[in-house]
Structure 1
Amino acid sequence: MKLNLVTSFCRFSRSSVIAVAACFVLAPVADKASTELGLSSSFVSVAAAAKVKDKRPLPGISESFFKKLGRVADLVSPAPNKDGSEVPPNYPAGLEELRKIEKGCEKCNGYELAQIYNYFGFVYYSMDDMKNAVKYYDLVVQQAPLIPWGLELQTVYTLSQLAFSNEDYSAAVKYLNRWMEYADPPSADAFYLRAQICYQMDDKKCASGSINTAVKMVEDSGKIAKESWYSIQKALMLEKEDYKSSLVVLHKLVRHYPKKSYWQQLPSVYGVLERDKEQYYFLDASYVAGAFEKDSHYLNLAYLSMANDYPYKAAKVLEEGMKAKIVPRSEKNLETLSAAWRLSQEYKKAIVAMKEAADKAKDDGNLYAQLMDLYLTVDDNKSAVAAGNKALKLGDLKQEGSVNLNVGIAYLNMEEYEDAIKSFDKAMKDKATKKFAESWLKYAKNELFRQQQLAK
């Protein structure tokens, strides 16, 4: 419909030859490109407010030339039928008509040539032939200063967008800088577009300056910048490790565009800045907001909860993650779950988690050693001995002497003094536990002697 509106305006303006200057077919082109690039449709209208330093005396356009262009308009942007149904454009016929006009245009002035090239660019763009569209729009610009400022600037802006879409970033920024030189003032959208182009060119300084200006212009007007604008701003800040500034932008994103990814990123940045309290608070907030999707999210909150003396919260978070099958029930994760329950003084739950973890161990007895300690805590000496002996059998222990010592204590609690003495003898061989084992050994021997005397 935009194409029809533009051409109908031109059709009604044919009574005045001078009015052809208003019949730019660039409007729908720039409109579409602006939409594709996430820009405001009002961006191109700034061309009308160009900083014109000198008024341009324009050559005239003949009535006959104007009628020729009218035939092109009828082909490429035909009026609707009487019943209101749309008539499809005939671009090949329009191009053929334009070639005839161009061929017979030996005496045409620059303004008239610009109108021909302008139509060529529009038709090729409509046919998705971007290479030829750029070629002819560039020819329009080359007719300056024999064309209106508005036509020149609008064409330059369209060329910038087309170059950007074609990934010709150097040309895109060249055209855009030319447009911004005369725009009064350059809009926030223009700075955003330049930020995009510079980012693709890996010119981070230009990209940062442009996006910061764009966001400031919007916020100074009392409005909120678009999400994509804040996202580029944040990405550039993080790339240069400006974490403090990125926090400000992340807070804006969380406030105005509360997506899971922003909730997840916010505590990570606090962590990099070693602001542990804020990291914990915002990680917990993202958990409440339902933003957890990875096992690392649950595990990080669990670790921070324990570090901040909230072990029960850590255990519940891990259990939820495991129940949702996001956190794997691995030896390490189950060991962490057991530690959380133990710190919460929920020893039975700690034993269940540690037993599952220990059962997964094939050649490492350290988890069984921890399980033994838990059994001793709840006075389950028989289970403690079984876990301790399993730990010694698997081996690779960090503190073998401590395991033998605790096994001896468990036997002692069950009044099995001979087995206790054997365990304490083994613990005596470890320098780290020799002193303690010596005391327990002496006590066990005395108890054994007392038991034997009572038996006699």
Structure 2
Amino acid sequence: MIKKLSLPLLSAALLFSASSVISNELGGTIAQAQENAATNDTVKVPAMRNRVYTQLARAQKLADEGNKQEGLAVLDEVKDRISSLNSYEQAMLWNFYGFMYYGSDNLPLAIENFERVVAEKAIPLSLRTSTLFSLAQLSMQQQNYDQSLNYLEQWQKVNTKPLTSTQQMLFAQINYQNKDYKASLKYVNEAIELALTKDETPKENWFILQRANYYELKQPENVVKVIEDLIRFHDKPKYWIQLSGMYGEVGEEEKQLAVMESAYQAGYVTTSQDIITLIQLYRFHGVPYKAAKLLAKAIEDGSVAAEEKYLDMLAQSYIAAKNDEKAIPVLVKAAEIAETGKFDAYLAQSYLNLENWDLAITSAKKAIKRGGVDRLGNMHLVIGMSNFNLKKFDESLMAFEDAQKLKETSKTAEQWYQYVKREQNAHMQLAMLNKAS
């Protein structure tokens, strides 16, 4: 199953700001109003008269100086004479209202007035085009994605220029929000390709949206490729961690470990969760000593808490690496905080491996007494084997008798019992011969 990937909204740079885009899209607003009217090829646009021009210029000046309410009051004066305005003058009036309301963060009224702009028939094509695109952006800010897509479709019909990467990304984002992931992916792929052909670096959020689309389309192999691109163009520690995880998702375990280990060496593996992930990878790939070494360091420096489960992991890593000497101090510490005899049982086995018979017996008996041991019969076997090595045959036989009563160890215990019985008899015979001589 692919891990859910977060998708932040596209950066604010994609959505226009009042100072940069609306003003520009108005053709410098007042300064180019007459020129806009004169350069329209498809619709005859009436000229803006000087008295209207003067009033709109005054409103703009007030707005630029931060006096928005005064600017709106000037527009209201012009609006009172709306019946005397031609279509282009009315469109510019609504345009200024839209601009003012957007600057006041009143998006619904901004949208309402920009809609009035495009409702006018005799306006320059450039104004219609820019306003439709602005409406698409504003609708997206309002999370009205159907309406935003509708404006974009209208805009495409009148737009005569090839889509820029930024425009393609707006299409991509809106289609993603509408859950049309294939359409979204088409646009984001085109935006990235266009940037690359211009020797430009595609923006980080573009790749994030691309990755999210591949995730929704259940294409993990392509998710991997996108994260590789994120590292190539926007190298960040989190992408190394994500790439390692995705290699695991697609079954490339060797790459998963290699990337995670590289991330660790680069200082990117810092959280407890990521450290434990790398430890688990080491254990999975059969390098338990590396796992133990890393976990011991992490516990020592406080990156990983010295909790029972992690002490258990550390001890098991040492044991898997056949290093019982290092496992024992960890198991002793774990046994002190554990509520059961689980770690006493591990200690018993480690002491047995190290031929420390007395401590093996002590730990095994403590494990039996405290309980919570998965295979209790093994503790009886440890006691039996340890006593046998101490030449305590009667205690050994008693332990193997107890082990025979448990299903999981009955067969092994029976074999040991017969062996110890023979050894006991041989020992007694030898002792009698020595005594007789």
**1:192 Cα offset (Å):** 1.1
Q: TM-score, normalised by structure 1?
A: 0.81
Structure 1 partner of 2:10: none
Structure 2 partner of 1:59: 46
User: Aligned equivalents of 2:373 and 2:68: distance in 1?
Assistant: 82
> Counterpart amino acid of 1:266?
L
Q: Is the 8 A contact 2:288 2:320 kept in 1?
A: yes
Task: State whether structure 2 residue 368 is matched by structure 1 residue 389.
Answer: no
Structure 1 partner of 2:201: 224
Distance 1:76 1:380, change over 3 A: same
Stretches of 4+ moved more than 6 A in 1?
5-13
Distance 1:307 1:178, change over 3 A: same
Note the residue ranges of structure 2 that are not aligned, 5 or more in a row: 1-17
**1:154 Cα offset (Å):** 0.9
> Counterpart amino acid of 1:169?
Y
Structure 2 partner of 1:28: none
Structure 2 partner of 1:167: 143
Counterparts in 2 of 1:334-373, with a 5 A limit?
Answer: 334-363=311-340, 365-373=341-349
> Counterpart amino acid of 2:385?
I
Task: State whether structure 2 residue 174 is matched by structure 1 residue 197.
Answer: yes
Task: State whether structure 2 residue 392 is matched by structure 1 residue 404.
Answer: no
**1:140 Cα offset (Å):** 0.8
Distance 1:332 1:255, change over 3 A: same
Structure 2 partner of 1:33: none
Task: State whether structure 2 residue 414 is matched by structure 1 residue 438.
Answer: no
Q: Is the 8 A contact 2:139 2:145 kept in 1?
A: yes
**1:21 Cα offset (Å):** 4.5
How big is each residue's C-alpha offset from its partner over 1:272-324, in whole Å with a ceiling of 9 and x where there is no partner?
11221111111212222323344332233223213323222111111122224
User: Aligned equivalents of 1:115 and 1:61: distance in 2?
Assistant: 9
**1:420 Cα offset (Å):** 1.9
Task: State whether structure 2 residue 5 is matched by structure 1 residue 18.
Answer: no
Q: TM-score, normalised by structure 2?
A: 0.84
User: Aligned equivalents of 2:287 and 2:315: distance in 1?
Assistant: 14
> Counterpart amino acid of 2:265?
V
**1:443 Cα offset (Å):** 1.6
SS of residue paired to 2:153: helix
Task: State whether structure 2 residue 280 is matched by structure 1 residue 303.
Answer: yes
How big is each residue's C-alpha offset from its partner over 1:118-147, in whole Å with a ceiling of 9 and x where there is no partner?
112112222222222111111111113x11
User: Aligned equivalents of 2:261 and 2:428: distance in 1?
Assistant: 55
How big is each residue's C-alpha offset from its partner over 1:328-365, in whole Å with a ceiling of 9 and x where there is no partner?
333332222122223333321111122223333323x3
| Structure 1 counterpart of 2:400, from 403, 424, 433 | 424
Distance 1:11 1:262, change over 3 A: closer
**1:157 Cα offset (Å):** 1.3
> Counterpart amino acid of 1:177?
E
Q: Is the 8 A contact 2:30 2:53 kept in 1?
A: no
Further displaced range: 251-260 or 273-282: 251-260
How big is each residue's C-alpha offset from its partner over 1:359-390, in whole Å with a ceiling of 9 and x where there is no partner?
33323x34322211211222211111111111
Task: State whether structure 2 residue 330 is matched by structure 1 residue 330.
Answer: no
User: Aligned equivalents of 1:10 and 1:203: distance in 2?
Assistant: 36
Aligned length: 411
SS of residue paired to 1:379: coil
SS of residue paired to 1:106: helix
Q: Is the 8 A contact 1:20 1:66 kept in 2?
A: no
Task: State whether structure 2 residue 93 is matched by structure 1 residue 116.
Answer: yes
SS of residue paired to 2:411: coil
Structure 2 partner of 1:70: 57
Counterparts in 2 of 1:120-131, with a 5 A limit?
Answer: 120-131=97-108
Q: Is the 8 A contact 2:348 2:359 kept in 1?
A: yes
Structure 2 partner of 1:39: none
Identity of aligned residues (%): 25
- The two structures, once aligned, show a CA RMSD in angstroms of 2.9
**1:445 Cα offset (Å):** 4.3
User: Aligned equivalents of 2:382 and 2:424: distance in 1?
Assistant: 13
Structure 2 partner of 1:35: none
